[in-house]
Structure 1
């Protein structure tokens, strides 16, 4: 039956051109010797031909971002391949092969309010103009790999205003969308950063903005983001930090 289409697309528009990009722009971090590429910081060496049938795997080993490949279908854009290391409360096997509307089904109001704008962005995206956005969450663990089963029952009962800065974490995702020039498919990348919530103590205005955002957030969205169990403590802690800006 031949090589799967998504693999062929990744070879022509994915990690092979990524190798050239990394070597050109980050020579302090990557070095190539004929058929191998070295990740200098981690002392890892990858034999490039070993990934001929799975170039997205090699790409995922070379960069910090999670990589997800979206292919146009009758149902809209569909997740057909991924190198995923750091999911937050979801599993790849649950989403692989699904269109955007199904992937985002747990998001409150997605099908009614967000599906059409998101589809519009995907359809208008040009290979020469990638786009990016930021997403945030408040989580109870600094672990980057955080599938649903990692959640510990009753964790919210251990959080109070005195320890919230150390026991809660601000998890940020820098997400990009890029249309691949050869295939026309879209590469969705996610770079995840995690900091103790106390990092906001150095920026009272940011704490104030986050407090207002949570206060204005619909309850169903707070529930989706797992904020309801810690809402009172979290808002109290943010209000305390925000008061610093008046000092």
Structure 2
């Protein structure tokens, strides 16, 4: 994918800012309404579709729109929180008024750390630095984001827990985001590989450093906020294993038998030591309205790493993805500019791998498996890899977090999963050539496809699947019929 011409972009930025200065009061009101700051009762936008969409205006106008586009602001939630605050904190918060005239000219710089900035500045979600500082550590993120905290999971046993059997296969198979509704109880999903994965990820960081973990100036608030939201989640979801001290300064992890002083190390390192999940944080650049990768903790990428993507704009991050520029770039840029904090989304991507490669940066030796069809390769070595992903906006910093974890399942598990073998077989046989090439399944197909054919035929013969079934995306995708019973049975309950 070829990015927009640099000269055009520079011109568009300059014209956009000059145009903003010249806007009438009514036109500027449009900007403030996009922040959700003028009318507290205004409704939240619904999640836009990310299917193929053509710009309805010239590209220069689209770029200008991004400069003036701000996400809906959650600052209206502050009024629901101040009543429970101690008197000193309420005083530090101030009167919660919003200075419309000051806001556009007082935005924090892209590289600016809120902790050392002037109290009168604002971030792009409409919070003043004074308010951000007064909120302190571990504020009520459920209220701020309007996303409820998870329900406790008392029957959860880390030693026998299996991930839910995600099967995000689609037919007809074409390039879309394939979004599903966010499930608040399943944002961070732990399972029996927890101890192994934490050790593996810490070893990767010790060996590769900035190739797997980095944060750039200006991302301090987003990293702190992300860490606090994740720790709040796991303490609420898995209280038998995680807890915070009364003053929220110490985390106890009873799986690893550790006690962590939270402020003794940077937020992403706290996550590295306790959460087997990958996180990428993109932030809005006030100069062009585009989102850029500014922080990342990613230990399970295939063919790329944090070092190869840090600092890049959204379209450059997605450069290798087939059809992204033609079918998705415009929609993604617009979606990121408007995404509210109260509407997280989830999706799954998948591939077929030999063994279980977790971290495979460019030129990794394991990639050699993808260059040949080994005739001696047994089916037992081939795994479905699913990256179950969440995209959500952090309510305070406005950063958009993309988080995922790699889940591996032997392909042989498909045998008793209704419709799955025929569905996967159809994608491998007839999927669009450039998409399948990007998915890198060729090196396994000579082994997988005969097995899937046998499984699909067996399911028809046993009446598990009706004969002549027309292959299509399953009604409850990413789930297959009977998935919950199988999942429970495999865990022993």
Q: TM-score, normalised by structure 1?
A: 0.87
Match of 1:163 among 360, 372, 378: 378
Partner of 1:61: 273
Deviation at 1:99, TM superposition (A): 1.3
Does 1 or 2 have the higher relative contact order (CA < 8 Å, sep 6+)? 2
Match of 1:151 among 366, 373, 379: 366
CA distance in 2, matches of 1:68, 1:136: 19
Match of 2:309 among 83, 95, 104: 95
Contact 1:60–1:67 at 8 Å: present in 2 too?
A: no
What pairs with 1:94-243 in structure 2 (closer than 5 Å)?
Answer: 94-148=308-362, 149-153=364-368, 156-159=372-375, 163-164=378-379, 166-243=380-457
1:22 aligns with 2:237: no
Contact 1:174–1:192 at 8 Å: present in 2 too?
A: yes
Partner of 1:76: 290
Partner of 1:5: 218
CA distance in 1, matches of 2:411, 2:401: 31
CA distance in 2, matches of 1:201, 1:189: 30
Deviation at 1:127, TM superposition (A): 0.5
Q: Which moved more, 1:194-203 or 1:29-38?
A: 29-38
Contact 1:75–1:99 at 8 Å: present in 2 too?
A: no
Aligned length: 242
Q: Aligned-pair RMSD on alpha carbons?
A: 2.3
CA offset digits 1:170-219 (Å, max 9, x no partner): 00011111111111110111122011111111215111111112223111
CA distance in 2, matches of 1:128, 1:60: 26
CA distance in 1, matches of 2:319, 2:112: 34
Contact 1:39–1:45 at 8 Å: present in 2 too?
A: yes
1:46 aligns with 2:260: yes
The unaligned stretches of length 5 or more in structure 1 are none
CA distance in 2, matches of 1:152, 1:181: 39
CA offset digits 1:71-109 (Å, max 9, x no partner): 123272211101112112212111111112111111111
1:21–1:223 distance in 2 versus 1, CA, 3 Å: closer
**What secondary structure, in the 3-state scheme, does the structure 2 residue paired with 1:194 have?**
strand
Deviation at 1:146, TM superposition (A): 2.8
Deviation at 1:45, TM superposition (A): 2.7
The unaligned stretches of length 5 or more in structure 2 are 1-110, 114-216, 462-493
Contact 2:298–2:305 at 8 Å: present in 1 too?
A: no
CA distance in 2, matches of 1:90, 1:159: 28
